[in-house]
């Protein structure tokens, strides 16, 4: 990591019980705190009232098509990998009313729905999800016609990130260069250290507001040993990724793979249920639904998460452009790992592994991609 002293504060160290003071500060600053908590047998994102709501003593076991909440004996707050939820739920909500309209005579008038966006502080954000946030920013904020409601929600966000030292069985952020170390886009980053009975946090502010908040936590200066410990733990995490993906030349290789036979094989397994797109922290596709009341006087426009795995997604008069399951899986994967690069200058994948864990039949993006890359030399032409 290259420290950027101008923005970043000095590393400091604090006791686990002082994490509560962070919560207190956030509440004082009128933030609603969103973070990991145990609910419905999973570590999900939810509103946290205090550190007691954090999943202390809980971890998870993840593999293709499987997530299991598990107990562990250590006192850590953040000893788990990505859960089923991501920041997307909050910044790009699954269902938003954009406006309402009401009829008057021949005409009608449109009233914009004022988007509520309170101040949200996310606690425990991993590097993968921060990269996903950066990607959503590119999609919704960077273009010539940005999404105003996204921008509004985004502007009121505070990020307390956590360096990931417990990658899961489906993680591959290391391959995507999106983790496990938090390197940008945070207000405060924490590393939780627990060994041989010593349990403490190393923190560092990454923004002005982060610095203000950090200052309120009882702390001492972090020693060079502490910092080395952080470094070691992150390096260790890098070697414990459950999955990996070779990204060199990935885009070009995939552009050549449109007619690869593997798509057909995957399509036989793919349920085209859309789970991967729903749990993906960067999948942003959405649809508009126009609804009316019975009297026909009131109408509303809703924006809802959509998935490229449906036939409606590509429907134009006369039929669906992507009617085969093969073409839909291909669209998704090539979008994530190739066309996304052309559109937004980055992969659409951050290596969080959610699509692998939550695929009901365990289809593995890294495995599919590897299979295509491996035999691409024999494959047929596609896009150059």
Partner 1 sequence: MPSTRRPKLAVWKFASCDGCQLSLLDCEDELLQVAEVIEIANFPEASRAVVRGPYDLSLVEGSITTPHDAERIHKVRRASKFLVTIGACATSGGIQALRNFADVNQYIPLVYASPETIQVLNKSTPIADHVFVDFQLRGCPINKRQLVEVLSAFLNGRKPNTPPHSVCIECKRQGTVCVMGNAGAHCLGPVTQAGCGALCPSYRRSCYGCFGPKETPNTHSLSQWWSSHGMMNADICRAYRGFNAYAEAFRRESEAREK
Partner 2 sequence: METLKPLLEEHPFLRDLSAEHLDLVVGCAKNVRFDPGKYLFREGQEANEFFIIRDGHVAVEIHSATKGPVIIQTVGAGEILGWSWLIPPYQWHFDARAVEVTRAIALDGKCLRGKCEKDYHLGYELMKRFSHIIEERLAATRLQLLDLYGNGI
Partner 3 sequence: MATESEGLKLRNAPGTDPMRPALFEVHRVRQETRDTFTLELRSRGPSDGFQFLPGQFNMVYVFGVGEVPISISGDPNRPNALFHTTRAVGAVTKAMRRLRRGDVLGIRGPFGASWPVNEVSAREVIIVAGGIGLAPLRPMIYQLLSQRDQRGRVVLLYGARTPDEILFTHELQQWRTQLGLEAFVTVDRAHGDWQGNVGVVTTLIPKAPFDPSQAVALVCGPEVMMRFTVMELSKRGISKNRIYISMERNMKCGIGLCGHCQFGPYYVCKDGPVFRYDQVQDLIPLREI
Q: Which residues bind partner 1 (CB under 8 A)?
A: 39-42, 44, 65-69, 84-85, 89, 94-95, 268-275, 278-279, 289-296, 304-307, 309-312, 325, 357-362
Shortest separation between residue 319's beta carbon and partner 2, angstroms:
7
- Taking the C-alpha atoms of residue 135 and residue 144, their distance in angstroms, rounded to an integer, is 16
Cα angle 365, 128, 59 (rounded to 5 degrees) comes to 90
Task: Work out which of 26, 43, 132, 139 binds partner 3, going by CB under 8 A.
Answer: 139
- Taking the C-alpha atoms of residue 349 and residue 281, their distance in angstroms, rounded to an integer, is 8
Tell whether residue 249 is a contact of partner 3 (CB under 8 A).
no
Between 87 and 158, CB nearer to partner 3: 87
Counting Cα atoms < 13 Å in the Cβ hemisphere of 123 gives 29
Q: Cis peptide leading into 180, omega within 30 of 0?
A: yes
The H helix count followed by the E strand count for the chain is 14, 16
Which residue do the tokens 């299991």 mark? 68
Tell whether residue 317 is a contact of partner 2 (CB under 8 A).
yes
For residue 275, give both structure tokens: 């789970």
Between 148 and 235, CB nearer to partner 3: 148
What are the E-state strand segments in 54-112? 58-63, 66-71, 95-104, 107-112
For residue 104, give both structure tokens: 């008057």
| Residues 347, 132 contacting (CB under 8 angstroms) | no
Q: Chain-centre distance of CA 284, in angstroms?
A: 11
Backbone angles phi, psi at 315, to 5 degrees: -75, 125
Binding segment (CB under 8 A) for partner 2, from list 54-62, 242-250, 314-322, 353-361: 314-322
154 binds, among partner 3, partner 1, partner 2, none (CB under 5 to 8 A by kind): none
258 binds, among partner 1, partner 3, partner 2, none (CB under 5 to 8 A by kind): partner 3
- Taking the C-alpha atoms of residue 38 and residue 81, their distance in angstroms, rounded to an integer, is 13
Binding segment (CB under 8 A) for partner 3, from list 8-16, 108-116, 177-185, 190-198: 108-116
Tell whether residue 319 is a contact of partner 2 (CB under 8 A).
yes
331 binds, among partner 2, partner 3, partner 1, none (CB under 5 to 8 A by kind): partner 3
Shortest separation between residue 298's beta carbon and partner 3, angstroms:
8
Binding segment (CB under 8 A) for partner 3, from list 17-25, 119-127, 296-304, 353-361: 296-304
How many residues sit in the footprint of partner 2 (CB under 8 A)? 4
Tell whether residue 99 is a contact of partner 3 (CB under 8 A).
yes
- Taking the C-alpha atoms of residue 208 and residue 214, their distance in angstroms, rounded to an integer, is 10
| Residues 231, 163 contacting (CB under 8 angstroms) | no
Please give the residue ranges that form the binding site for partner 2 (CB under 8 A).
316-319
Please give the residue ranges that form the binding site for partner 3 (CB under 8 A).
98-99, 101, 103, 106-110, 112, 139-140, 143-145, 147-148, 258, 284-288, 290, 292, 296, 299, 301, 303, 306, 308, 313-317, 321-324, 326-327, 331, 335, 338-339, 342-343, 345, 382-384
């Amino acid at each position: 990591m290259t420290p950027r002293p101008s923005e970043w504060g000095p590393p400091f160290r604090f006791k686990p019980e002082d994490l509560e003071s962070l919560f207190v500060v956030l509440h004082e600053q009128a933030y609603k705190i969103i973070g990991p908590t145990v609910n419905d047998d999973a570590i999900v994102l939810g509103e946290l009232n205090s550190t007691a709501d954090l999943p202390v003593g809980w971890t998870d076991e993840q593999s293709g098509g499987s997530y299991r909440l598990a107990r562990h004996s250590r006192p850590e707050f953040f000893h788990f990998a990505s859960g089923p939820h991501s920041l997307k739920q909050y910044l790009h909500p699954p269902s938003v009313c954009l406006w309402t309209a009401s009829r008057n005579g021949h005409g009608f008038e449109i009233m914009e729905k004022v988007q509520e966006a309170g101040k949200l502080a996310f606690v425990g954000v991993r590097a993968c999800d921060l990269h996903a946030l950066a990607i959503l920013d590119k999609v919704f904020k960077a273009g010539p016609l940005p999404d105003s409601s996204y921008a509004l929600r985004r502007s009121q966000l505070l990020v307390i990130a956590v360096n990931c030292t417990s990658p899961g069985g489906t993680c591959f952020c290391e391959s995507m260069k999106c983790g496990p170390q938090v390197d940008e886009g945070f207000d405060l980053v924490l590393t939780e250290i627990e060994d041989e009975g010593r349990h403490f946090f190393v923190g560092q502010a990454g923004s002005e507001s982060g610095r203000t908040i950090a200052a309120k936590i009882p702390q001492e200066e972090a020693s060079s040993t502490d910092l080395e410990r952080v470094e070691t733990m992150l390096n260790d995490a890098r070697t414990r990724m459950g999955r990996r993906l070779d990204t060199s030349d990935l885009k070009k290789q995939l552009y050549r793979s449109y007619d690869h036979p593997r798509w057909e094989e995957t399509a036989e397994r793919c349920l085209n249920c859309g789970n991967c797109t729903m749990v993906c922290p960067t999948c942003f596709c959405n649809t508009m639904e126009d609804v009316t009341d019975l009297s026909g006087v009131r109408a509303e426009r809703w924006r809802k998460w959509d998935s490229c795995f449906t036939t409606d997604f590509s429907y134009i008069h006369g039929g669906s452009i992507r009617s085969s399951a093969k073409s839909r899986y291909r669209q998704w994967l090539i979008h994530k790992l190739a066309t996304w690069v052309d559109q937004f200058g980055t992969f659409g994948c951050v290596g969080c592994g959610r699509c692998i864990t939550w695929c009901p039949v365990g289809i593995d993006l890294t495995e599919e991609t590897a299979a295509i890359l491996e035999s691409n030399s024999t494959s047929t032409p596609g896009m150059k």
